[in-house]
Every structure is written in C-alpha cells, then in structure tokens.
Structure 1
Amino acid sequence: MSIFSSMYECERKLGHATELQDPQSVSLCPLTERRPNKARRACFLRNMDPNFGGILLTISKKHYQVIGKLLESLTVSLSRHVLLKSAINRIYRVDGTQIFDLDDIFDGDIIVCCCKKEAFLDVGYKMNKSYVQLLGSIMRMNEKFNGNENNFLSNITTDQLPESITLYIAISRLMSQTKWSAIFEGYGRAKGNLAYIVKMVDKQHMNVRTNNTYSEIAILRKLQSHENIIDLFYTVEQSKYDYIVAERLNCDLLNLLISNPAFDEKFVQRIMIDVAKGLEYIHSSQIIHRDIKLENLLVQLKTQTDLQSLDISVVKIGDFGLATYYEGRDLYQWCGTPHYMAPELVSYAGYDFRVDCWSLGVSLYFLLCNQLPYGNDCSKQEEVLDSIQKDFHSIPSEYVSSLSIEAQHLINSLLDKSRLCRISATEIRKHPFLQIRHE
C-alpha cells in the first residue's frame, strides 16, 4: 500500500482538511496566544509553491496525538492539490522557524510543509483571502478574551512600588490605570522640581496583548538618542512587573487641544515638525510605534503651568507599549486605538510602517479640524472600525476656506487608504506644509 493511499484513510476519518482558493499575498502572520489543550486552526502551505492558497486544518491532540500523525494527514491532503516528491516530513512557520511538537502550533499559524531532502525556502507565499478573514476573527476573539480578564493592576498603591524607585522618587499621585499598566507621577527627592512618570506594567498581560513581542524597555533604550522621543531614566525589571522611569512633560496634545479648542496652522506646523522628526527616527530604527495618537504626543511648554499658553519648547513621542520591531514582513496583529487604526490593520490585510503615518494623519486632522476623520460620532468600536473601512474622509466645510492647500494635501496624503500610496515618515518631513514660512 502506498503512503498516499494509507494516508487517505487517515484523512477520511479526520475530515478536517479544507482547500483554500483565490490566493492573496501574505508574508508573515503573527502568532496568537498558544493554548496547547485547545483546538487551533492553522493554514498549511506547500514549500516553494508561491501560488497555492493552502489548506486549513484544525489541530488538537485529541485528533493528532503526535506530530507524526499530523505530517501523515498533511501528506494526504496536500497530494490532492499539489505535486509532492515524497511524504511531508518537516513543517516550518513562514519565518523559517521549524515546528517539532503539536504544542508549538498557535491558533492562526501559517505553516510551510516540506518533503524529504527539501530545504525551506521563503518564496513570497500567497494565502487565501478567506483565511485572512478567519485569522481576523481569531484575533478579535483573542482581544475579547483578553478584555474579559481580571484587572491585573486593580487597587494598586504606591506601597507596591519597589524601593529602588521610592528611594529616589516621591510618588505624588496615580495618573492613570488600565488592566495592564499603572502610571504614577513623582518628583525627585534630591531635586524636587524634577518631574518623573513611573509606569508599572504587568508583563504577563502585555505578552498576551502583544503576542509575546512586548519590547517597550528595549525599544526605549534603542531610541534614546533622539530629542523627539521621551527620555528614559532607568528601569526596574522583576518577574511579574516592569517599572519604567521616564521624564514627565507638561501635558499631551489632547489635553492641550481641550484647553485651546482652536489651533492655527503655524502652531500645528510646529507640532508636526517635531513629531515627523521623531517618527522618521523610529522607522529608520526598524520600529513601528502602532499607537500614534494625541494622548501619546507629549508637550513641554516654555510656560510651565499654563496650558492656554501655546509657547511650545518641544513635542516628544511617548508610550511604546505596543511598539514592535519590523523585520521586512507584513504584520497582522490587531492592536492600537480604534479611531486611529489604519484600514489595512482593521481588515487584517497586512501592514508595515505606514500604519503610523495613517495614525499621524488622524492626529493632524484632529488638530486642524477639532474632530476625528472617521467615527467621530460613533460610540461603539464596531461602528468606528466600519467607518474606517467604508467611509472616506473630507475636510469639514467650515475649515475648507481657512486651511491652506498644503495642509489639506498633507491630510489627504496621510489618510490615503492605499498604504502603497500613503506617504512615508521621510516624505512627511519634506512635505510643503512643514516648509511653509509663516509671517
């Protein structure tokens, strides 16, 4: 009996393989949280075949006790659609990582199947559109699952901060708190006029939230040489929590906008020059921020306590909790702040650096038009995301005559729904809006 005929009986009993058609380009899918005891769905591609859309299998130890059984089933299933030189005997993720155990397969994985004596090759694999949509639903379910978890940092008090922080910083108040972090304000004990923020992060939750790619401390350290990135003073890393001690600026741009509901173009241009310089440096360091928004654009005023004074010293980019390294392959992880998410991120079509440029476009629109370009009147997240995918922005009629052609062009260039047509951070720096000489 041939290996294919013996495998056919195996597949007939399992009945999990489904052919995927209408391929769509894909580079690398991020991994969702691993849950070995639960069934996981994965797409299996054929090594060195860039056009085959793949087959979808549901993986569990109940059906495949060991990885050998899975390889046998893959041999039968794939042989129906593509040419196999021999049985499948090795599988890899599309980043080239070999998988040796069923527990190493994640929900939403994209896996390349190799025959004997075949070397794994990345040939720019294509994947079916329906699998991308399935991947999207998996990610959304994980988001809901994570969102229903207990608040890890509930009832946090300053007594829980390590002595290596409280010895040098007098904590004055808890500024904000989420299920994954708490941010405190404090002042240096040696120099009471020096303000700090202390960010306390639950590492377990952030690793789940970022698919085990939480790298905030390493990324902040890497970016410290730039004037438009928030200054990091020191960190304390423990088994459960990370503590980040950084500079405290006067306010963020959202608070400044609330205090001053009308910003003129000259002032917004000043802001954009600083943010564009910081964003260009972030991207040149092969990092995507993934949460550019007014709340994360921090302002130091020349007049320290007057938020109605628009005399800015510097604008800096902060909060790198969702930032990640970009390694030349599209990312698919769903994260960020809904109103600021780029359409390719919302639709799980694969994204790169230009999601940050879209988010900056939303921020620029907000600063100049005093409203959001998408979902401004929506209260539900689903409505916001639907607006981003289906609607098209326009400059409010009351601002059309007052905004310069350069400002409107920059907004339109940043909010281009095609990421390939959207301008880059380097192009933002050179845009005419940032070159205008105001009298």
Structure 2
Amino acid sequence: MTTPFGWSSTGTAERDVPVIRLKNDSDLTEKYEFGSKLGQGSFGEVYEATHLETRTKWAIKMVHRPAPGSKMVETVDNEISILKQVNHAHIIHLEAIYNSAAMIYLVTELCKGGDLKQLLQQKKSFTEDETRKIIFSLADAVVYLHQRNIVHRDLKLENILLKNSSNEGDDRFDIKVADFGLSVKTGGVEIGNIMTEACGTLIYMAPEMMSGRGYSQWCDVWSIGVIMFMLLCGEPPFVSQTQRGLLKEIMNKVRFTQPAWASVSGAAKWVLTYLLKVDPAYRMTARQLLETPWIAGEHTVPSGPNNVLEMIDQLLENNTNENRSYPGTEPVKDWSLISAEETPESSLDHSCWSGADLGPEAVTERLKKAHNRKSAHSSLTQQDCRPPLRSALLE
C-alpha cells in the first residue's frame, strides 16, 4: 500500500533478534561506548550508545532483572516478545538483546527527537498538516499490530518517539511507537477473546476498558483519538482525577471549545467524533481512519453512515418510519445494540461494550433482522452489505 506521504505501510519479513549471554555486565562496554542518558522508561533507564565496530548509534534500555514471579517479569517478557515479532517503519526496531545475571539490555534504534509529549510542551499545539502526518503514521502502525492480533493498550504521547530532532524539516515527524510492556497478543476480535484487565494511563483509557465489561483492540483507536485531540489543541478531550469522574466527562461526548479549534477543519473534527465514539461498536477502526478523506489531505466532511452497524441502524429507522401502520413491526429501540449517544445514562451498564467484537455470523444475523423488517419496496440484501462488512469488521 502506498501512503499519501509516499511511505509504504507494508513491513518486511519478521526478524530473528539475536540474544547474547554476558558473563559480566562490564562485557557490554567492550561492544558499545555509552553516551548520554536519554530517559527513564517504565522499567529501566535508556542511554545512547555507539557500537564500537560499526560506529552505528543505538539506544540501550538497561533493565534490572525482575524477581521471579513478579508482575514486572510479565511486563518485560511482553516487551521483548512483541518487539521480536514486529517489523514496521513506525514501530521501534529491536536490534539485539543482551542478558546477564542481574540485567537485561535491549538495543533499539536511536530516536534523537525525544517523545511527542516533550515536543507538544514546546510547541503548545501542532498544525493540522503536522497532526495529519503523525496520525497517519500512528494509525498505520496500529493497523499493522491489529492485523497480527497485537493490542498495545498504552498508546500515549510519551510512548511515541521521534526518530529525528526538531530541526530536521519534515523528517522530524518520523514517529516510532514504543513501550510494549502492557501489550498483549490476542486470538482476534471474536467474543471469546475479550480482555478485562484495565491498564494504561487514565486520560488515554477507553471507556469500555474502565467499565469492566470487557474490551478489545478498539481501545487503541480511542487512544489515537485522544492523541489527535491533544496534538491539535494542546489539551486532552476529557480530564478528571478519578476514573468515575472521567467516565462522567466522557458521557458528555467530545466538545471543541478551545480557541485552537477555530482554525481546524470540519473534516478533522468529524474524524475525532468517530475515533472518540463511546460505544466501540460505532467507533472508527484504524484501517477506516487511513481511508478517510482527511488523511489524504481533503477537508470534505463525509456524509452517510460510517460503518455497517450505523447503516443497519439507519435502515431500521427508515423502515420503522415506513411501516408504522403495519401490525407486528418492532420499534428500533428494542434492538439490543443502541449507540451510546442515544442512551447516555445507561450505556456504561449496557451489554453493547462487546459490540465491536461481533463476528461475521453475528453481524449477518443482524442484517437478516434488518432485511426481515424492511418494507416490501426495499431491495437491500446481504450481498449489498458485504463491502462495508469487510471494511468495518474483517480487517
């Protein structure tokens, strides 16, 4: 796939990452010359280092080996396992692993520009074109992960690194998704693979994750929406010190009240409203985000339903209006999947939190119900609905 910015979204074959055993920690200094400290990660310090033989510059994360059986063991194992599986232009590249009795050293590509949080603090906000480039790269990486049933679960500004420094022109927005300690590999988006553990950073956390009702890979898309909102205006869309308070704010839906929104296109706002849909069944997917006119640089606001479930809702609404005089016609409100916007008070307790994980059979059954309810003058069939079904649910 060729992107609007000339990049390729297709990664090369997965790599065999070398794992080298060190007798002593000092042995690593015979291979690398250590430079300045780059930062403090979730479970280790990161330093710039130069390979003595090739003179290639890398970043080395130094992790104290966690105690056996501790939660940190799972976190470190997750990071290593997933980074060994992935190979994408906008995901941090793991070059090698060194192990000693006391330490684990992860050698990754060097990102000289810091992270997006640091850059946002300097800039206060990003232009729409700058945001578009960043969000395209981020969505491209998330599509790649979701195709491999990997859910990041902690996408945030701090975990998006900049390959180059801020004075390197357009290349300064070459981003790398990092920190996979909370990531998981699932069996797909079917009902049996629902996750329940709440994790990540509160202001980026999807409402279905906080609700305790179960969630899937759509939680990453919510996080993309929060990141995009913050890039454009410098502030998060929802703020609270508690999870309960944040959920209450989220139920009021996204609003564009900051002065920065006066210069942002309606197309960008439309994208945000679909990334930040409370009900994950109606939320835009990462792949759909890549297909929006806004990503291609257009300012046109799309019309019509965003996915197959909205199309069914619209169909049922139309047919209900047409068939009001026919006995036996069920009202649309009896349908079990209702958008969160329509039921703000009850949606947190509603079973629709797993609606985004409907498999093809479940959606086909919904389509059958829609077909049975339409009037004698309607001609919509299941075959007519297959293209949006693939686009929305069968990535």
- Please state which band the TM-score falls in when normalised by the shorter chain: 0.5 to 0.7
Query: Among 157, 177, 201, which residue is 1:337 paired with?
Result: 201
Moved more, 281-290 or 173-182: 173-182
Structure 2 residue 317 is matched with structure 1 residue 317: no
Structure 2 residue 259 is matched with structure 1 residue 395: no
- After superposition, what is the alpha-carbon deviation per residue over 1:308-348, rounded to whole angstroms, capped at 9, x for unaligned? x5643621211111111012410111211111111111121
Corresponding position of 2:383:
none
CA distance in structure 2 between the aligned counterparts of 1:298 and 1:411, rounded to whole angstroms: 22
Query: For residue 90 of structure 2, what is the amino acid of its counterpart?
Result: N
- Cα deviation for residue 362 of structure 1 reads 0.4
Contact 1:374 1:384 in 2 (8 A): no
- Cα deviation for residue 296 of structure 1 reads 1.1
CA distance in structure 1 between the aligned counterparts of 2:50 and 2:244, rounded to whole angstroms: 42
Corresponding position of 2:130:
267
3-state secondary structure, aligned to 2:90:
coil
Instruction: Decide whether aligned partners of structure 1 residues 343 and 199 sit closer, same or farther in structure 2, where only a CA change above 3 A counts.
Output: farther
Structure 2 residue 368 is matched with structure 1 residue 368: no
Higher helix share: 2
- Cα deviation for residue 392 of structure 1 reads 2.6
Corresponding position of 1:346:
210
Equivalent residues in 2 for 1:19-168, closer than 5 Å = 162-168=25-31
Query: For residue 245 of structure 1, what is the amino acid of its counterpart?
Result: V
Corresponding position of 1:230:
92
3-state secondary structure, aligned to 1:244:
strand
CA distance in structure 2 between the aligned counterparts of 1:201 and 1:174, rounded to whole angstroms: 16
Corresponding position of 2:80:
217
Corresponding position of 1:413:
274
Contact 1:207 1:213 in 2 (8 A): no
Contact 2:166 2:172 in 1 (8 A): no
3-state secondary structure, aligned to 1:374:
coil
Corresponding position of 2:186:
326
Unaligned runs of 5+ in 2: 1-22, 300-395
Corresponding position of 1:358:
222
- Cα deviation for residue 258 of structure 1 reads 1.7
Contact 1:289 1:356 in 2 (8 A): yes
Contact 2:120 2:126 in 1 (8 A): yes
Query: Among 189, 200, 206, which residue is 2:52 paired with?
Result: 189
Instruction: Decide whether aligned partners of structure 1 residues 212 and 180 sit closer, same or farther in structure 2, where only a CA change above 3 A counts.
Output: closer
Higher strand share: 1
- After superposition, what is the alpha-carbon deviation per residue over 1:208-236, rounded to whole angstroms, capped at 9, x for unaligned? 26868942111101102x11111111012
- Cα deviation for residue 391 of structure 1 reads 4.2
Instruction: Decide whether aligned partners of structure 1 residues 389 and 373 sit closer, same or farther in structure 2, where only a CA change above 3 A counts.
Output: closer
Instruction: Decide whether aligned partners of structure 1 residues 292 and 354 sit closer, same or farther in structure 2, where only a CA change above 3 A counts.
Output: same
CA distance in structure 1 between the aligned counterparts of 2:283 and 2:211, rounded to whole angstroms: 17
Query: Among 297, 312, 319, which residue is 1:436 paired with?
Result: 297
What is the aligned length?
272
- Cα deviation for residue 390 of structure 1 reads 4.5
3-state secondary structure, aligned to 1:433:
coil
Instruction: Decide whether aligned partners of structure 1 residues 283 and 189 sit closer, same or farther in structure 2, where only a CA change above 3 A counts.
Output: same
Corresponding position of 1:290:
153
- After superposition, what is the alpha-carbon deviation per residue over 1:159-190, rounded to whole angstroms, capped at 9, x for unaligned? x9824533222222444446733333333334
CA distance in structure 1 between the aligned counterparts of 2:65 and 2:224, rounded to whole angstroms: 28
Instruction: Decide whether aligned partners of structure 1 residues 191 and 420 sit closer, same or farther in structure 2, where only a CA change above 3 A counts.
Output: same
Contact 1:187 1:195 in 2 (8 A): yes
Contact 1:199 1:245 in 2 (8 A): no
CA distance in structure 1 between the aligned counterparts of 2:272 and 2:139, rounded to whole angstroms: 14
TM-score, normalising length from structure 2?
0.62
Aligned residues with identical type, % of pairs: 26
Instruction: Decide whether aligned partners of structure 1 residues 200 and 212 sit closer, same or farther in structure 2, where only a CA change above 3 A counts.
Output: closer
Corresponding position of 1:76:
none
3-state secondary structure, aligned to 1:357:
helix
Contact 2:130 2:173 in 1 (8 A): no
CA distance in structure 1 between the aligned counterparts of 2:24 and 2:272, rounded to whole angstroms: 43
- After superposition, what is the alpha-carbon deviation per residue over 1:23-72, rounded to whole angstroms, capped at 9, x for unaligned? xxxxxxxxxxxxxxxxxxxxxxxxxxxxxxxxxxxxxxxxxxxxxxxxxx
CA distance in structure 2 between the aligned counterparts of 1:219 and 1:200, rounded to whole angstroms: 17
- After superposition, what is the alpha-carbon deviation per residue over 1:139-174, rounded to whole angstroms, capped at 9, x for unaligned? xxxxxxxxxxxxxxxxxxxxx982453322222244
Corresponding position of 2:167:
306
Contact 1:214 1:324 in 2 (8 A): no
- Cα deviation for residue 242 of structure 1 reads 3.1
Unaligned runs of 5+ in 1: 1-159
Contact 2:62 2:103 in 1 (8 A): no
- Cα deviation for residue 382 of structure 1 reads 4.5
Contact 1:207 1:214 in 2 (8 A): no
Query: For residue 319 of structure 1, what is the amino acid of its counterpart?
Result: D
CA distance in structure 2 between the aligned counterparts of 1:161 and 1:394, rounded to whole angstroms: 56
